[in-house]
Each structure stands twice: as structure tokens, then as C-alpha cells.
Structure 1
Amino acid sequence: MRREVFLLVLPLLFGVGCAATGGEPAGGPAGPGRGAEAFDTRATEVAEAWRPGTDWRTGYVPLQGPTVLPGDPRFTSETEAAFRAGWYRAQVPIPSAGVGDGEIRFPDGRSTVPLVSAAEAYRQLDQGDPLPCPGRPKRPGLPSPSGPTVEPGPDGWSTSTTQTACLPLTVTGVTLGAVPVRTSRGEAQVPAWLFAVDELATPVARLAVAPTAVTPVPEATAPALPLAEGLVAAQDLVAVDGVRLTVRLGVGACDTGITPLVRERPDVVVVGGAVTRPSGVCPDMLKFEPVTVTLTVPLGARPVLDVATGAPLSIAAR
């Protein structure tokens, strides 16, 4: 599936801003090895502190959100905006009857779990309607109404003859199926309601497992000392492909020399990064920077832990 990575600018988190400080860059005078050294020390602490309960290995602990795209949706800018905002309209009846139990298929076994109805899944999926878009056509691809279309510009309202529709996604069918989901026990096939959407090339899946059967991700124990100067936290997982992990690091707006770092153990993988801080003044902002690391063996069911917080990383929302 084609993946699109978006660079986000957010308020400063985890103390990774890029204002000038008196500390040395991640590499310091001795080069990048100093940052890697500090990372290895902290990664060892994080790995040894990771002690999840028995539910981590026996229950259902999802490590990604409940809305899943099982294929390439072939987004346009507008359909992607509607998907991310949760704008839907149903053109078919959504069944409200209960469906009983379903089965999650893990790499190490199977579990029977209660399921929610299609109507309840749709209620969770649908987050409302888009705001009105003056002068835009009522359906995507249709010409605009007669006369020029008006849009607010930098100096007020201006005319435009090329506008796109501003609409929710159209649900034309719903079936019960299963989709792959990363969990604490590896990738599992999880029951999901598959909503056929007229504007997308793949259904939108909403996981059907009832909340009572979901075990939350356990809280992690972070090292007592703050993250060393020049090291940065991992924010989330973008993709897992065998031995290759793509993660997003939280870096400063003016950081350079962004270097992914990984510590691999038989039971866990710890990730983070090293950067060179700027010497001058810089906006106090955080960027999400995608990087890729390569493991010696496939990830399997091992958790990927953030070197800053010690928390397991989840798959980023698409």
C-alpha cells in the first residue's frame, strides 16, 4: 500500500525544542558516537524496566487505532480530509442487531470476543458533517452552480471558477470481515465492520471488538533522569515491514544531523534518535520526522519502546 507521510508542526513536547542552549550537540566534539553512547545507556534502562502484565501476552492489546484502511484508498485531497475528520453519510440502512461473538486470530492462538453491532461501529466512525462550502457543487466532479464561485481570499471574498466539492464520504454498504492489526502478540486478524465508500478504492474498516474485550496499553516506567542533550524521542510507528521499522522522531525545527538509533534485544526493541542542535535562536516548535531503522531479525511480537518515555509505540493514525 502506498504510504503518505505528513510533516507536522506542533507545540514543543518532551523538551526537544531548538532554542540555543549551553549543551553540546548530540555528537559533541568526539562525533556522533557520544550520542549513540548515551542512547545505548538509556535504552538498556528502558528495556530492563519493561515488565508488562500477563494480559500483554494473553489478551487483546491493540497497538493501532480502531479505524483501518485495508488497502490503498487512492485519496484525493478532499477525500483524505473527509476521512481524517470522520465525515460520512450513509446511503444504506446500517444494521443495529447484535452479532454475538467473533474470533481474533493471533500468531500464537485464537480468542473469542464479543462484538459490537454495525450501527454502533458506524456511530463511532461518523464524527459529523463538514462545514458549508459556499458555491461548491453538491457532488464531487460536477460543475459548479451557474455564475462564479466565491471563496474567501486574503483580502476578502474573491471569485474562482475552479473549486472542489466539500462533502462527507458516502457509505454504500457494510459487511462483517477481518483486517490485520498490530497487537501486543504480533499482527492479528481482527473482526471489523467493512464500510464500502463510494469515493474510495478500499473499504473503511472499523474494528468490531467490544470495549469490554480490549486491554489498554500498560503504563511504562521512564528512566529517572531526563533525556540526554541531543537525543530525541520516538513519537509513533509509521510502518513495520519485516526487519524494517519506520518511526517518526520528534525533532526541533532547526535541528540537523537527524540520526535514527535502535537497540535490539530478544524481547524488546528500543528506538529514538540523535540530532545536532542549532547554535542560534530558533522557533520553539516540534516536527515529526520519519526515519527508518533495520533490525537483525524481523520484529515479530516484540514491542517497540520509545527511549524517552519507555512506552510502547503504536501505529500512527492514517
Structure 2
Amino acid sequence: MNRPALLLVLPLLLVTGCAATDSGPAGGPPSPTHGTEAFDQRAVQVAEAWRPGPDWRTGYVPLEGPTVLTGDPGFTPETEAAFRAGWYRAQVGIPPTRVGGEIQFPDGRLRLPLVSAAEAYRQLDQGDPLPCPGRPKQPGRPTPGGPTVEPGPDGWATSSTQTACLPLTVTAVTFGAVPVRTSRGVAQVPAWLFTIKELATPVVRLAVAPTAVTPVPEPTTPARPLPDGLVAAQNLAAVDDARLTVRLGVGACDTGITPLVWERPDVVVVGGGVTRATGECIDLLKLEPVTVTLAAPLGSRPVLDVFSGAPLAIAPR
């Protein structure tokens, strides 16, 4: 396909390493070593304001994106760029036939309309690669009326001088189910699994029709600004029983980054504490992965950001 794809690159620095903490007893505030008075007060406000509608417990509210990786794909810089941009090419036929299926939650089942493999592939495929700096130059293919002209990294260039990124190659597609974190806990969700020649694991596109997906409810953010020295949680990197890996949004010169958690039987609130730098510092947001261990397995409890009050979704690395 020849649809142009736009890849937006934001200045983002990922910092490796993590800090671990243990929370206090479920149903009460965390111990003094894992919270601050300002954080605890804010967490109580966030938890009390969390009032999702009935669909949170009866519908399908996914807390992961519709494109899922179920294992380590063995990315290279080129294949990761293609995955994030949605660059694909199919070497097999993609069946247009719709199939039936249901979601299996820990507390029951729900039958919903599904999309066909062809529809799922159309959602997955976001166009052809743009010219990419650092790649070997590819000879252009002449087209009627003259050379093809496409935007390059330094402006507009003819196809005879452009550099190219590579798409991911689909060699097979199968129907199955994959574990997905939802508002009702981890569910088995129908999905289309696309085998990719360049990757070690399939790229999975969830098969539930977009019209059957209940959106995450809008949070109620506390009126007061976040107290100085506290930072927001951006998303979840992983959930392993009672162990959460959370990405905090911190300043480029912040130090003393400490994960903070507050929990009760129906909700968990997370954030972080930092020491702000004095003097000049570059204005840059970093994502700092930290780890917290809850007093009890997370189960179906939502994890809320202490700043916005929004439930956190699992985001790819």
C-alpha cells in the first residue's frame, strides 16, 4: 500500500533501574517509609473520587492497547521502529470472514462482536515506511510521468536518492485468545495473531469490534495542584501478582526518586517522590521505571495515578 505514514518522535529519555518498596496493610495507609503525608492525603482524595459506572464491572474495558506482544519479540532498532509506526506488508491472504467468540473474565463470560482478520490487519497497518536516515539508499522505481517525490529527512527528495526503512512481513495469521488486563481483572480476549518473519513472537491484534469496547471513564482530578516534590505515574510497565512496575514522569535533574503507594481493598494509588534540583536544568520529562510490592495481589483493583486520578493502563516498553 502507498499511504504515507507519519511518525512523530518526541524528546524522551528512558532511564533504566528501579526502586522497590513494600506497601502497608491493605485497607489502611502505607507505612511511613513508603509514603509522605502529602501523598497519603492526595491518595485518599483520588480514591474517594473514583466512581466508575456499572460498565466497569459488567462490560469490556481493556487496560491495554489493541495491539499486544505476548513475549519478547527480539526487536532490532529497525523492527521496533516498524512496529511502533505500523509498517507491514502481507505475503499471505488475510481472510475477510468474521468469526464468533467471547471474552472469559475471572467472574464470567461476555459475548461481543468481533472483527475479521482483514479488518484487524487494516487497523494494524498504518502505511508504508517513510525515508529513514542511516539506511542504505535504495534505487527508485520509475513511475509514469516522472520520478516519485516523497518527503525525506532533509525535505523533499526524489525516489532515486531517498533512504528507506523496512516494513514487517506477515507470513501467517491465526485466531486465538490472549491474556489482557481489563477492569474486571485479567481476561482471555479473542485475538488475531499475525506471524511476523522478522520477529520472534507474533504481533497480536485484539479482535473485539471497536464499537463493543467500553472506554475508560474520565477521572475526577483533585482541585488542588500536585504538592511540590510529588510526581505523577505515567503508565504501568508490568503487573506480576502483587508486584507492579510503574513508570514515573520525573524531571531531568530530579534526584532521590522514590516510589509511593497507597492501597485499600478496592483501589491502589501510585506516584513518586523526588528531590527537585536547584539552579538551571533542561526542561525534559524522563520516564523512570520503579517497582512497588502490594500487601495483596492486585486482582481486579484499578491502579490510579495520584496526580490525575486516572486508571493506569499497561503500555509497551
Bin the TM-score by the shorter chain.
0.7 to 0.9
Does the 8 A contact of 2:34 with 2:259 survive in 1?
A: no
1:72-221 map, 5 Å: 72-99=72-99, 101-132=100-131, 135-136=136-137, 166-221=165-220
Q: Distance in 2 between matches of 1:34 and 1:263?
A: 8
TM (norm. structure 1) is 0.80
1:65 equivalenced with 2:61 (yes/no): no
Q: Give the % identical residues.
A: 78
How far the C-alpha of 1:36 sits from its partner, in A, is 1.0
CA RMSD after TM alignment: 2.3
Once the two structures are superposed, what CA deviation does each residue of 1:7-34 show, in whole Å capped at 9, x if it has no partner? x8459xxxxxxxxxxxxxxxxxxxx979
How far the C-alpha of 1:233 sits from its partner, in A, is 0.4
Match of residue 18 from structure 2? none
Q: Distance in 2 between matches of 1:35 and 1:309?
A: 18
Does the 8 A contact of 2:35 with 2:262 survive in 1?
A: no
Match of residue 149 from structure 1? none
1:23-38 map, 5 Å: 36-38=36-38
1:228-243 map, 5 Å: 228-243=227-242
Does the 8 A contact of 1:222 with 1:308 survive in 2?
A: yes
Match of residue 39 from structure 1? 39
Match of residue 289 from structure 1? 288
* CA pair 45-172 structure 1, distance change in 2 beyond 3 A: same
Query: Which residue identity is paired with 2:205?
Result: R
Q: Which consecutive residues of structure 1, in runs of 5 or more, have no partner in the other structure?
A: 1-7, 12-31, 139-151, 154-163
SS in 2 for 1:114: coil
Q: Distance in 1 between matches of 2:33 and 2:282?
A: 27
Q: Distance in 1 between matches of 2:34 and 2:247?
A: 22
Q: Distance in 2 between matches of 1:245 and 1:275?
A: 19
SS in 2 for 1:284: coil
Does the 8 A contact of 1:75 with 1:200 survive in 2?
A: yes
Q: Distance in 1 between matches of 2:315 and 2:307?
A: 18
Match of residue 268 from structure 1? 267
Does the 8 A contact of 1:35 with 1:230 survive in 2?
A: no
Does the 8 A contact of 2:260 with 2:273 survive in 1?
A: yes
How far the C-alpha of 1:124 sits from its partner, in A, is 0.6
Runs of 4+ in 1 over 6 A off after TM superposition: 32-35
Does the 8 A contact of 1:232 with 1:274 survive in 2?
A: yes
How far the C-alpha of 1:136 sits from its partner, in A, is 5.0
Does the 8 A contact of 2:236 with 2:247 survive in 1?
A: yes
Does the 8 A contact of 1:171 with 1:197 survive in 2?
A: yes
How far the C-alpha of 1:137 sits from its partner, in A, is 7.3
Query: Which residue identity is paired with 1:73?
Result: P
TM (norm. structure 2) is 0.80
Q: Distance in 1 between matches of 2:104 and 2:175?
A: 15
Query: Which residue identity is paired with 1:45?
Result: Q
How far the C-alpha of 1:54 sits from its partner, in A, is 0.6
Q: Distance in 2 between matches of 1:217 and 1:233?
A: 18
How far the C-alpha of 1:80 sits from its partner, in A, is 1.2
Q: Which has the higher mean CA deviation after the structures are superposed, 83-92 or 128-137?
A: 128-137
Q: Distance in 1 between matches of 2:35 and 2:65?
A: 33
Q: Kindly tell me the number of residue pairs found equivalent between the two proteins.
A: 268
Q: Which consecutive residues of structure 2, in runs of 5 or more, have no partner in the other structure?
A: 1-9, 14-31, 140-152, 155-162
How far the C-alpha of 1:317 sits from its partner, in A, is 3.0
